[in-house]
Structures are given as C-alpha cells and as structure tokens.
Amino acid sequence: MKLHDLKSPEGSTHRKKIVGRGIAGKGGKTAGRGTKGQKARRQIPQGFEGGQLPLLQRIPKLKGFTNPFRVEYTPVNLDALSALGVSEINPDVLVAKGLLRKKGLVKVLGRGELSGALHVSAHGFSESAKAAIEGAGGTVTVVDLPFSVRPPASGNQHQNR
C-alpha cells in the first residue's frame, strides 16, 4: 500500500450542511439555533464577557509620561575622583581614565573623602561635593551645558503610549 492508495472509509466524510435557506428541509427558519436568546442571533463581539467588565477595560492603563526634555547626568563620586590620582579633572579626563564610557554631562556627588586638593570641572555639583572639594583646598568650575535653553528631544517621547 502506498500513500496515493489511501482513502477515507466509505461514509466517513460528509458534505457541510447548508442552513438558513427557507423552510423546506431541516435547516430552515431558525437553522438549528433554537429560538431566541443570544446564541440565536448574530455573532457575539470579540472580547464580550456576558456583561461582565471586559478584561481589556479591567487592566490598568499606562499612567504619567516621560519628559522628553529631562537633563540626564552621569554621577561621579568624590571617592572615585580621589582614586584617579590626577589633580586636574574634567569630562575628557574621566573618559580617558575609564570612569565614563563616553563624553556626556557629568555631575559630581559627595560620597567619599578627598586626600588632596582637586581642580574639578563638571556640568553639575551637589552641595556636599562642592563643600568637600573647596574644603580640601580645591576649586570647582561649572561647565556650561552644550545646549542653550533645554536639551533636544531624544526621540523616545512616545515611549509610553
């Protein structure tokens, strides 16, 4: 026996019953749907749960928004700066020493102690970091941001929609 010799047994396949074509025969009028009720009428909408609040309406929606003009700084702490062993520190030096992956906006934070005087240039400083640097005899220089009023929109403002 080969594949092309295979056939369904006699009487096992049936023609689809055509219903709803008038009162002659068994498939007329109500067409096997019984009388009245939801199942006798048109198709039930997708997602319909019998009057219960549908799942799509029950689940929480996204709240809030993502500010496209947020200024993001890379934080660098005092203990990391003192471990560098350099007295003049700016964003270029931090990238060269491997503290930053790429040149960007830097904010110095006040965790850690300073052993000597450091001359630090960065885009932002916390109050505690500024006080610690100046208290150790160093200087603080705030570098201007590379944009005038606000940063350019980063393209992910439609992220939460």
DSSP for 34-56, written as a single string:
-SSSGGGSSPPPTT--TTSPPHH
Copy the structure tokens of residue 76: 């660098």
pLDDT tens digit string along 95-129?
A: 888 888 888 889 999 898 888 888 999 999 999 99
Write down the pLDDT at residue 32.
83
108 DSSP β-pair partners = 76, 125
Write down the pLDDT at residue 118.
86
Write down the pLDDT at residue 3.
93
Residue ranges of the chain whose pLDDT lies below 70: 148-161
Write down the pLDDT at residue 54.
92
- Domains of the chain (ranges plus CATH)? 20-60 (no CATH), 74-142 (3.100.10.10)
Write down the pLDDT at residue 35.
85
pTM over 0.85: no
Pairing of strands 106-109, 124-125: parallel
Distance separating alpha carbons of residues 149 and 77, to the nearest angstrom: 27
Write down the pLDDT at residue 158.
52
* Number of other CB atoms surrounding residue 38 within 10 Å: 9
Determine contact, residues 89/101, Cβ cutoff 8 Å. no
Write down the pLDDT at residue 161.
47
